Structure 1
Amino acid sequence: MNSNLLEFLKDIKEKVNQVDYLPEDIQKFQTIPILNTQCIYIYDFSRNKIVYCRNANVLGFNDEEFSIEHASNYHQDDKTLVNTVTQSAIKYGIEDDMIDHNCCLELTFRLKRKDGTYVQVLKQTTVYHLDDSHRMSTNVTILSDISFIQTPGYVNWSFKLNNLNSDHFENKICGDIKNIFSNKELELLPYFIKGVSSKKIADHFFISKLTVDTHRRNIKSKSGCKNMYDLLTFSSRNKLILINSLF
């Protein structure tokens, strides 16, 4: 289970004021058309629970049993990055005045089904209710099964924001992602992307080949990338490197 995110959400619960919304606020989602490959749910931060869910059968669950724990049960190789991006977005939503901001966070990753298998999903989340301090109190998420699409094996994300500089927020997320990696891993990253052998890197930095191989494995594990091309794409997208400095 994804304990880091769940503990984070418990802390957030104390920082957001509850919103007393009307039954119609929830019921109107019954009329929103979704595909049979999609699940829609509303998460209440102040109550720390999903207060509405429809078509959780996409993941093998009944709507009544689907919980935030299930919605956060990411694949082991994806959870570090998904955790980082998700927490960055949530922190922004509860720390800033969101009254004039219409935003949407999109993530692709692998999510665990009830039967224990994993499915590739697209998660699209937007702010729904604000509390009396204009902080995000609830959000709406649509999960789409995109396993039919041949997607790369690493986490992808994008952030769309109206009435604010999206680049500023994306830089905040990229900064948090950069903190996943150690300084030495970031120093060696360009060499790995260029395909330099561990022996040559070890000789250049006066460290052992075993140490270089360990850093290489750690970077692949944290990024979820399996090959040099994926690592290049991942590093460029998350602003870990400047492409022009590589070649």
Structure 2
Amino acid sequence: LNRELNYISGGSNRHIALYMAYRAAKSNGKYTRISLTISRHTDPAGGIYDMAEIRDISHVHCGTMVSFALLGGKPLKELPQDSRKGLLISRREQEIIYYISQGFTSRKIASELNLSEFTVNTHRRNIMSKTGTSNMVDMLLFAASNGII
């Protein structure tokens, strides 16, 4: 997989994310649906690291088809020096983004930050509006690509 990620990124400092959804057999012979997301990042010192997330998404009814998506942002070296400057993401919104990236639900984020769930959902909408994204995956990719998380 590392070879494929290197090939796809063209050896550049490009932030890329690979998403796969597939069925896997359990030891009892039943099947479960798995989501695998691998995201490649470059830190400020130029080091490259990968983050992987594996989830059981059996509750999502999407048939037996294997899904595959590759998302790539702008090469990191082409981003402006402080690409967050014009975003005006508040400290609270940065906290919300962090908790979302950790897989927290709005209810759990609300509990952690002593906020109402409604307030957390309002922050989520505002973040997506400010980042110009329409879903959480794109928002998290944007946040990672722009150094917010």
TM-score computed with the length of structure 1 as normaliser: 0.28
**Higher RCO, Cα 8 Å, sep 6+:** 2
Query: Which structure has the highest strand share of the two?
Result: 2
